[in-house]
Amino acid sequence: MTVREIEPVPPALSLAAVFLRFLRFGLLAFGGPVAQIAMIRRELVDQDGWMSSARFNRLLAVLQVLPGPEAHELCVHMGMRARGRIGGLLAGLGFMLPGLILMLGIGWAYVALSPVVGLLAGAFLGVQAAVVAVIVRAVCKIGSHILEDRWLWAVAVVGFAATLAGAAFWIVLAAGGAAYVLVRAGRVALAVGVVALAVVAALAMHGLGDGGPVFGQALAQGGDVGAAAMFWTGLKAGLLTFGGAYTAIPYVRADTVGRGLIDDGAFLDGIAFAGVIPAPLVIFCTFVGFVVAGWGGALAMTAGVFAPAFAFSMIFYERLEAVVEDRRLHDGLAGVAAAVVGIIAATSVELGWATLQRAPSMAAAAAIFAGALAVAWAWKSRYAVPAVLAAAAVMGWGVMR
């Protein structure tokens, strides 16, 4: 008879102690999701024994195929193990609070001190070129984990082309997921039919004016933008962030840059700021919301983008592992994730093109991009992105004033 290994449980903690523990994680959350997850694992699993390493690995695998930033969802889940749903809520709030406060301050300063921002235009252009390089590196990294066979590569390539052609994201994602499920079931001809139907739908939607932006063309926008609209933009991004926080970028850009609410330069600045503060990368949505609609827009968009991360972890806490055991769901999510890779790649092309058009020297912008990409590719430190962005700011100030 075998003896089942007893699963470790968190120590008895007060609600205040749970909040403060994850607030500390938030204050140290530099370096992106990989560094953040490694920190949580080291302290809560290896040192304090909140759960076994095997269970942590299974949990992380589940969170990586669900929408939302994995590190934040992991904090919510761990908080729930310690003190139930209230503990999960406090853990999630503690982890995101430092980045939220910092980004609100940055957004306020960016808007209030816009003349100073104008004087530093060269530095910001350098940073924007480097941000595009960081996104390209992220696409390659995400793709290396997601594109495991030729059919997933095909989904990504079609998603890339469709996005550049202006297809609505929801069509690309739905077609990618459905087509891959059918291919895995051996029904390739039917999968081709689904893609053909998606092309017809995309052409029809584009003809009705509901397509995505092509190389930064702005859609007509009228009226003021309120908190409800910013919440909806954030919620859509939060629900579609399969494969990591970078996947939120295309959806937020389509709803803001694509509708003329913010330009690509300010949008890239927000991503850059998110890369140098201790926070999940999706905190760039706070900056975008502030620039578009002030304090209310910032808080509403933040609430929208983080709502799915709280909801999936808190509502489906007992069922997370069982849900992903369904092979059909796994194949569908894999197809959606592959389509997301194509969408992010297309968005990086659009952002790169927009940056080149704004730069006084295309050669200088291209050189900064190439240098930033090389360093981001070779340097694996958690401080690589902040260092690359700082160096790009100096170079941009020197050559693109």
Smallest CA-to-CA distance from 198 within 235, 170, 239 is with 170
Q: How confident is the model at residue 401 (pLDDT cuts 50, 70, 90)?
A: low
Q: What is the mean pLDDT of residues 114-142?
A: 84
CB 86 within 8 A of CB 98: no
Question: Which residues lie closer than 8 Å to 279 by C-beta, 6 or more apart?
Answer: 26, 29, 96, 98, 99, 100, 102, 103
pLDDT band of residue 320 (cuts 50, 70, 90) is low
Report angle CA 174, 159, 155 to the nearest 5 degrees.
80
Could you tell me which residue, 202 or 233, shows the higher pLDDT?
A: 233
The yes-or-no verdict on residue 66 having pLDDT over 80 is no
CA distance 255 to 258: 6
Angle of helix 70-112 relative to helix 53-64, nearest 10 degrees, comes to 50
Q: Which one is predicted more confidently, 148 or 19?
A: 19
Give the pLDDT score at 224.
Answer: 61
Query: What confidence category does residue 89 fall into, taking pLDDT thresholds of 50, 70 and 90?
Result: very high
pLDDT-based confidence at residue 206 (cuts at 50, 70, 90)? low
Does residue 213 surpass a pLDDT of 50?
A: no
Amino acid at 48: D
Contact 376, 384 (CB under 8 A): yes
Rounded-to-integer distance, Cα 291 and Cα 18, Å: 33
Mean pLDDT on 187-201? 85
Average of per-residue pLDDT across 297-325: 81
168 vs 318, higher pLDDT: 168
pLDDT of residue 243: 61
Q: Is the pLDDT of residue 199 over 90?
A: no
Neighbours of 47 (CB within 10 A): 9
Indicate the pLDDT class of residue 158, thresholds 50, 70 and 90: very high
Dihedral sign, Cα of residue 77, residue 82, residue 85, residue 86: negative
Q: What type of residue sits at position 289? A: G
> Lowest-pLDDT range, 159-168, 223-232, 290-299?
223-232
pLDDT at 147 over 60: yes
With pLDDT > 70 as the criterion, what percentage of the chain qualifies? Answer: 89
Model-wide pTM > 0.85: no
Instruction: Read off the pLDDT of each residue in 142-167 and give the average, rounded to a whole number.
Output: 89
Residue 340 tokens read as 């997301």
Mean pLDDT, all residues of the chain: 84
Average pLDDT over residues 303-330: 75
